Amino acid sequence: MEDIDLQQKLKEVFGYDTFKGDQEAIIRSVLAGNDTFVIMPTGGGKSLCYQLPAMICSGIAIVVSPLIALMKNQVDAVRYTSGTRCVAHFLNSSLTRVQVKEVKDDIAQGGTKLLYVAPETLSRDDTVDYLSSLAISFFAIDEAHCISEWGHDFRPEYRRLRQAIDAIAAAQARRAAAPRHIPILALTASATPKVQQDIIRNLQMENAKLFIASFNRPNLYYEVRPKPDDALTLHKEIIRFIKDNSGKSGIIYCLTRKRVEELASLLQLNGIKALPYHAGLDNKVRADNQDRFLMEDVDVIVATIAFGMGIDKPDVRFVIHYDIPKSLEGYYQETGRAGRDGGEGKCIAFYSDRDVEKLYKFFSDRPPTEQELANQLVQEMVSYAESSVCRRLNILKYFGEDYNEPSCGNCDNCLHPKPQVPARDEMVHLLETVSAMKQAFKTKDVVDVLMGRSNSHTKPYRHNLLEQFGSGTDRGDAFWKAVIRKALFEGLLLKEIETYGILKLTPAGQRYIKSPYDLSVPCDHDYTLEMDDYYPDGGASAAGDEALYAQLKSLLSDIAQREGRYPYVIFADTSLKDMTIQYPCTVEELSRCTGVGIAKAQAYGAPFVELIKRYVEENDIDRPQDIVVRSAVNKSRIKVSIITSTDSQIPLDDIARANGLTMPALITEMEHIIDSGMKINIDYHIDANIDPEHQDVLLDYWANSPDGSIEDALDEFADDPDYTEEELRLMRIKFLTAYGENADN
Ligand code: ADP
Ligand code: ZN
């Protein structure tokens, strides 16, 4: 078996030209009959490490995988790499008795190469009996970290795998003349040394060949952006980002369910196909939303961290962290869901001091040791966010990996090193200010004093009488925050965790005031102004012909819908993009596109080839294609503004003026918002402007109006000039918000 041409097999079955990372060595290890242990980050290509040898070996590979919900999907993906032959099946508790029988009957026909089994199913006696009757090529244990209590997803059933495997081997040995060692391949993306130890001990794989891949994901772009204090600015920035990346799949992580819901609605309102996902949603809704994301029916999932475990959508193009995550490991896992196919993956985290304080508060009612651990994790996240050093280097260092490149070329700090300005005197000034404020205040208050701004502490603590009050206005907030960060970094100041961030001088800080040394701080970036040219371009992942790409994508989506499969199971995004470069006009040519392979080309290629052929004929391919740029007037901005402004109870006249609308036009906009299922609370305006008796009469009218028609209402009140059209319509909005279909319950 040693001299088998694996590369050719790879091309034939999966359509790839080259192996990724250690794949080939891993596969050879399995083929040689070794127990093999693979640690590879998400997106590294673990599945292929058992799928390809399974196709080559005689017998069936048993794949243990914890996620029943995803098993069907995984099996479909392999099935269709091999054309119409059913080479993969699964057994788990979701199957009916009849379905189980069908699976077993088909396996009895021969030809099955992979059998996915849920861990709890594998340890059942009847499964052990059944499996010991099969010729097993090897066992693959996916997500092997589930074995360890130290892992982030412990599953007790995983601890019984070894027993089941032994029982199967023993039963086979009793029957066979020459008993054979059945190799085990364990795979995981979770790498802490403690978890590794647990896996090896529990599966008794002490002699296994070990493959530990680098955790570097060169295709992921990391960026930390300062989080604007006001929600409107932040939301604008996020919406703009998504629109700049329209048509691409993305995930936005928020800390709370409430925020998830709000942001998802806001995005919908802005014409973005977005859905929420969190553990509080009804199971069915949650599963549907996830499915629609995988089906590419929606582009964006707004989620708590409940979303993502086992999501193997390969073409997620961005992951945004609306709130700063609780740990760097969590951040790495969540961003890891971007760009699994090796293509573009933009990872943007929004960061603000206030969020960090919120996190500390969030943990404050935990038992002391747990709290300490949690705070430590947050602190590591904070140093990552505030660092001006390469993000990748920071992350890899965290996982104990060396990274010696001078620049990764794919993170904000490497692409746009922040220019430094000298800040020795300013540092002294800051430390003196903290001291003058009796070391009893947080960053925000210190900056307020420097900027001469009053807040609730100013009067009681007489901050306005300090000589430092208003002394820093020539530099601005961002500068002083940078000086404070630098002071923390240099150990001149200390942020007290118990008090959620009160700044204290350290002995080094005291010394610095007396004998300062030269230091500089990074000038803060104005991210919003530079957003357009901020990213590295998509590079190799870009489609060659956007117009054709769009058509192929829509064809794929239609076929996927019809077949009830996820689009990427049929053709990966990278394959579509390659088609727009190669213009394959025969199934044979198509099979040479990346990620396609002969079987897939034959099973699915025909309509694609036809489309491309027609496209090539209809267009002069040598001539660069015109890209149609759609420029719609952006009404959604106005809607967001109306919602957030009414939320803050801003007078309607002011809202109208700010958006360049007349009052009737504003009311029309609000009616559209209500029609789209949102609510607008304008009680503050109504109570101040509409006579209470009128309110009662009109509420009563709308409650009894059969269809809510404004025309009818105008007719009804035509004789009564006391009731204005404005009143009628505003009360209708109130009614629909409070009692309409939009209302809760
Ligand atoms: P993991 O399970 O390690 O997270 P997957 O097995 O899901 O990763 O693979 C991630 C992506 O990489 C998938 O889209 C897969 O098709 C692709 N891939 C795997 N191996 C190769 C290869 N040799 N060449 C190109 N793409 C590959
Ligand atoms: Zn970098």
- CATH number for the domain harbouring residue 456: 1.10.10.10
Going by the DSSP 8-state scheme, the letter that residue 214 receives in this structure is -
Ligand with the closest atom to the CA of 21? 1
Give the whole-angstrom CA distance, residue 689 versus residue 692.
9
Using the atom order of ligand 1, give the atom closest to the CA of residue 16. 24
Using the atom order of ligand 1, give the atom closest to the CA of residue 18. 23
Is the pLDDT at 605 greater than 80? The verdict is yes
- The pLDDT assigned to 397 comes to 80
Question: What does the buried/exposed string (b/e) look like for 632-655 if buried means 16 or more CB atoms within 10 Å of the residue's CB?
Answer: eeeebbbbbbbbbbbeeebebeeb
Residue 638 located in a structural domain: no
pLDDT tens digit sequence for 32-47: 999 999 998 877 899 9
The residue whose CB lies within 8 Å of the most ligand 1 atoms, and thus the one to mutate among 340, 344, 570, is 340
Residue 394 located in a structural domain: no
- Closest Cα to atom 14, ligand 1: which residue? 341
- The pLDDT assigned to 653 comes to 87
- The pLDDT assigned to 153 comes to 67
Query: 47: CA distance to ligand 2 center in Å?
Result: 29
Give the whole-angstrom CA distance, residue 6 versus residue 306.
38
Query: 223: CA distance to ligand 2 center in Å?
Result: 9
Q: Confidence class of residue 140 from pLDDT cuts 50, 70 and 90?
A: very high
- The pLDDT assigned to 214 comes to 85
Query: 559: CA distance to ligand 2 center in Å?
Result: 40
- The pLDDT assigned to 674 comes to 76
- Closest Cα to atom 5, ligand 1: which residue? 45
Query: 201: CA distance to ligand 1 center in Å?
Result: 28
Give the whole-angstrom CA distance, residue 698 versus residue 681.
17
Where in the sequence is the domain holding 589, given as residue range(s)?
541-626
Q: Confidence class of residue 537 from pLDDT cuts 50, 70 and 90?
A: very low
Query: 520: CA distance to ligand 2 center in Å?
Result: 21
- The pLDDT assigned to 497 comes to 63
Query: 702: CA distance to ligand 1 center in Å?
Result: 58
CATH number at residue 176: 3.40.50.300
Lowest mean pLDDT among 285-299, 305-319, 520-534: 520-534
The domain total for the chain is 5
More confident: 372 or 313: 313
Q: Are residues 207 and 226 in the same domain?
A: no
Ligand with the closest atom to the CA of 220? 2
- The pLDDT assigned to 310 comes to 61
Protein residues whose CB sits closer than 6 Å to any atom of ligand 1: 16, 19-20, 23, 40, 42-48, 312, 314, 340-341, 572
- Closest Cα to atom 16, ligand 1: which residue? 341
Residue 637 located in a structural domain: no
Q: Confidence class of residue 743 from pLDDT cuts 50, 70 and 90?
A: very low
Please give the full DSSP string across 48-89, using - where no structure is assigned: HHHHHHHHHSSSEEEEE-S-HHHHHHHHHHHHGGGTTS--EE
In 3D space, the residue among 45, 190, 196, 68 whose CA is nearest the CA of residue 122 turns out to be 68
Which domain-ending residue is among 146, 179, 212? 212
pLDDT tens digit sequence for 208-226: 999 988 889 999 999 999 8
Using the atom order of ligand 1, give the atom closest to the CA of residue 315. 14
Using the atom order of ligand 1, give the atom closest to the CA of residue 44. 3
- The pLDDT assigned to 219 comes to 93
Strand order through the sheet with 249-253: 220-226, 345-351, 316-321, 249-253, 300-303, 274-277
Using the atom order of ligand 1, give the atom closest to the CA of residue 17. 24
- Closest Cα to atom 11, ligand 1: which residue? 341
Is the pLDDT at 264 greater than 60? The verdict is yes
Ligand with the closest atom to the CA of 595? 1
Using the atom order of ligand 1, give the atom closest to the CA of residue 189. 3
Q: Confidence class of residue 242 from pLDDT cuts 50, 70 and 90?
A: very high
The residue whose CB lies within 8 Å of the most ligand 1 atoms, and thus the one to mutate among 7, 12, 16, is 16
Residue 132 located in a structural domain: yes
pTM above 0.75, yes or no: no
Q: Are residues 162 and 73 in the same domain?
A: yes
The residue whose CB lies within 8 Å of the most ligand 1 atoms, and thus the one to mutate among 20, 249, 568, is 20
Q: Are residues 156 and 233 in the same domain?
A: no
Q: Are residues 562 and 609 in the same domain?
A: yes
Give the whole-angstrom CA distance, residue 280 versus residue 306.
10
Strand order through the sheet with 36-39: 88-91, 114-117, 60-64, 136-141, 184-188, 36-39, 209-212
Give the whole-angstrom CA distance, residue 733 versus residue 728.
9
- The pLDDT assigned to 529 comes to 32
Q: Are residues 274 and 314 in the same domain?
A: yes
Ligand with the closest atom to the CA of 314? 1
- Closest Cα to atom 9, ligand 1: which residue? 45
Which domain-ending residue is among 188, 212, 236? 212
Q: Confidence class of residue 75 from pLDDT cuts 50, 70 and 90?
A: confident
Query: 41: CA distance to ligand 1 center in Å?
Result: 11
Is the pLDDT at 526 greater than 70? The verdict is no
Q: Are residues 549 and 497 in the same domain?
A: no
Using the atom order of ligand 1, give the atom closest to the CA of residue 49. 6
Q: Are residues 302 and 356 in the same domain?
A: yes
Average pLDDT over residues 345-349: 97
Q: Confidence class of residue 742 from pLDDT cuts 50, 70 and 90?
A: very low
Q: Confidence class of residue 1 from pLDDT cuts 50, 70 and 90?
A: low
CATH number at residue 556: 1.10.150.80
Q: Confidence class of residue 708 from pLDDT cuts 50, 70 and 90?
A: confident
Q: Are residues 251 and 361 in the same domain?
A: yes
Tokens for 186, please give them. 């364990």
Q: Confidence class of residue 531 from pLDDT cuts 50, 70 and 90?
A: very low
Q: Are residues 560 and 471 in the same domain?
A: no
Which domain-ending residue is among 181, 212, 243? 212
Residue 374 located in a structural domain: no
Query: 404: CA distance to ligand 2 center in Å?
Result: 11
Is the pLDDT at 709 greater than 70? The verdict is yes
- The pLDDT assigned to 540 comes to 37
The residue whose CB lies within 8 Å of the most ligand 1 atoms, and thus the one to mutate among 48, 49, 337, 577, is 48
pLDDT tens digit sequence for 334-343: 999 999 888 8
Residue 527 located in a structural domain: no
* C-alpha dist (Å) from residue 485 to 110, 381, 499: 65, 14, 18
Query: 195: CA distance to ligand 2 center in Å?
Result: 28
Residue 651 located in a structural domain: no
Query: 416: CA distance to ligand 2 center in Å?
Result: 9
Q: Are residues 553 and 676 in the same domain?
A: no
The strand pairing partners of 442, in sequence order, are: 502
Mean pLDDT of the chain: 84
Is the pLDDT at 538 greater than 50? The verdict is no
- The pLDDT assigned to 205 comes to 93
Query: 21: CA distance to ligand 2 center in Å?
Result: 21
Angle between helices 663-675 and 725-739 (to 10 degrees): 20
Ligand with the closest atom to the CA of 38? 1
Residue 435 located in a structural domain: yes
Query: 129: CA distance to ligand 1 center in Å?
Result: 33
Give the whole-angstrom CA distance, residue 106 versus residue 118.
19
Cα 362 to the center of its chain, rounded Å: 22
Contact 297, 558 (CB under 8 A): no
More confident: 654 or 191: 654
The strand pairing partners of 88, in sequence order, are: 114
Q: Are residues 456 and 583 in the same domain?
A: no
Q: Confidence class of residue 2 from pLDDT cuts 50, 70 and 90?
A: low
Reduced to 3 states (helix: H, G, I; strand: E, B; else coil), residue 664 is helix
Give the whole-angstrom CA distance, residue 378 versus residue 376.
5
Q: Fill in the amino acid letter for 601.
A: A
Q: Are residues 96 and 196 in the same domain?
A: yes
More confident: 627 or 80: 80
